[in-house]
């Protein structure tokens, strides 16, 4: 007997809206450490950006075709500061998530959002990290040589470990905090990139590190010159003798400072020329 009324089928449950998990943010963060592996002038960090955002795309797009298209649209030109790339990754991942959930977001909107954040981050990040913080960290390592006296004059010099450790800690204490929390913060503040950019306080931080850098270099000069002056005249021959011993150092310093003003970026050539001239002069004197 046929049932006069067909059985009502249960309504199909809609697929849950895809959204990103904490693990995806962790994967994107870890992959952002390889952002520049295929760095080339034409696309710069484009392939690296696609590689870093891939865990998010895998989560958001179940369809292979959609996933491939999403990956391809992140392969174009992209350039920002590598330490700050996580913020752009977070913003792009948020937009991809909304698109996957059905929001009307087109390719151009995602590209515009990426560029509007990547360019200012590069403009603020390069002077902060490359011009200021990295040299400052190197200087902190060198200062370790002056600040930590030898524990044992005939034993192994443990400053060989202390100095690089100081340099690494100085730089990474700042840089790693931006790297580790970048993706998550970019994702959370994707709606207001201007506010996000302002909240990073990159410009004031740069000013602070510039002052610290100059301050530490002034200290290093004194910490270097003091023992040099003390050891220059062990027999107590007078000021003229001390000045003559310190003269090569001072001459090298002045020549280098003047030459770098005229030919910036030519430090290697200046150093090698100065060493050669000093050797020739020393054989004549």
Partner 1 sequence: MLPELLRIALLGGILATDRAAGWNLMLGQPLVGACLAGALLNPGPAWELWALRIPLGVGVLLQLLLTDPALPAAQRPRDTATAGVIGASVAILSLERLHPFLPLTTGGIVWVLLGTIAGLLASVVGGWMEASMRARNEVSARRAEELALEGRLVSFEALYWSGVGRLFVRGATWSAAATVAGVAAAAVLLPYVARFLTGPRSGLVFAVLLGVAYGSGFHTHVRVFRRGFRWAALGALAAFLVMLRVHGGGE
Rank residues 4 and 264 by Cβ distance to partner 1 and give the closer one: 264
* Closest among 58, 57, 53, 59 to 28, alpha carbons compared: 53
**At CB < 8 A and 24+ separation, what contacts does 111-115 make?**
111/73, 111/76, 113/190, 113/193, 114/49, 114/78, 114/88
Rank residues 58 and 185 by Cβ distance to partner 1 and give the closer one: 58
Closest distance between partner 1 and the C-beta of residue 274, in Å?
A: 5
Closest distance between partner 1 and the C-beta of residue 224, in Å?
A: 7
> Are 87 and 196 spatial neighbours (Cβ–Cβ below 8 Å)?
yes
Closest distance between partner 1 and the C-beta of residue 211, in Å?
A: 5
Rank residues 2 and 239 by Cβ distance to partner 1 and give the closer one: 239
Rank residues 189 and 200 by Cβ distance to partner 1 and give the closer one: 200
Measured CA to CA in angstroms, residue 53 lies from 13, 136, 180, 212 at distances of 29, 32, 15, 36
Return the H-helix or E-strand segment holding 213. helix 202-232
φ/ψ of residue 77, rounded to 5: -60, 135
Closest distance between partner 1 and the C-beta of residue 70, in Å?
A: 9
Q: How much is the CA Rg of the chain, to the nearest whole Å?
A: 29
Closest distance between partner 1 and the C-beta of residue 112, in Å?
A: 21
Rank residues 109 and 270 by Cβ distance to partner 1 and give the closer one: 270
* Closest among 100, 245, 119, 106 to 193, alpha carbons compared: 119
């Amino acid at each position: 007997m046929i049932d006069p009324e067909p059985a009502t089928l249960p309504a199909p449950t809609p697929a849950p809206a895809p959204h990103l998990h904490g693990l995806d943010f962790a994967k994107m963060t870890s992959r952002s450490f390889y952002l520049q592996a295929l760095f080339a002038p034409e696309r710069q960090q484009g392939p690296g950006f696609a590689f870093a955002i891939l865990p998010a795309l895998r989560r958001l797009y179940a369809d292979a075709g959609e996933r491939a298209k999403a990956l391809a649209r992140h392969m174009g030109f992209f350039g920002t500061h590598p330490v700050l790339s996580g913020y752009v990754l977070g913003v792009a991942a948020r937009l991809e998530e909304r698109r996957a959930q059905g929001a009307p977001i087109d390719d151009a909107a995602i590209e515009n959002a990426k560029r509007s954040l990547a360019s200012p981050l590069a403009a603020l990040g390069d002077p902060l990290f490359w011009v200021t913080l990295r040299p400052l960290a190197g200087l902190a390592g060198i200062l370790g040589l002056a600040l930590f006296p030898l524990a044992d004059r005939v034993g192994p010099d443990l400053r060989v470990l202390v100095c690089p450790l100081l340099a690494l800690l100085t730089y990474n204490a700042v840089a790693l905090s931006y790297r580790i929390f970048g993706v998550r913060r970019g994702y959370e503040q994707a709606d207001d990139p201007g506010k996000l950019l302002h909240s990073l306080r990159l410009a004031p931080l740069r000013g602070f590190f510039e002052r610290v850098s100059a301050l530490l270099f002034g200290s290093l000069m004194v910490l270097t010159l003091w023992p040099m002056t003390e050891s220059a005249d062990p027999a107590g021959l007078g000021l003229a003798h001390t000045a003559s011993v310190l003269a090569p150092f001072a001459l090298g310093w002045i020549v280098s400072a003047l030459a770098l003003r005229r030919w910036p970026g030519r430090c290697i050539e200046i150093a090698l020329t100065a060493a050669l001239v000093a050797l020739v002069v020393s054989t004549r004197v």
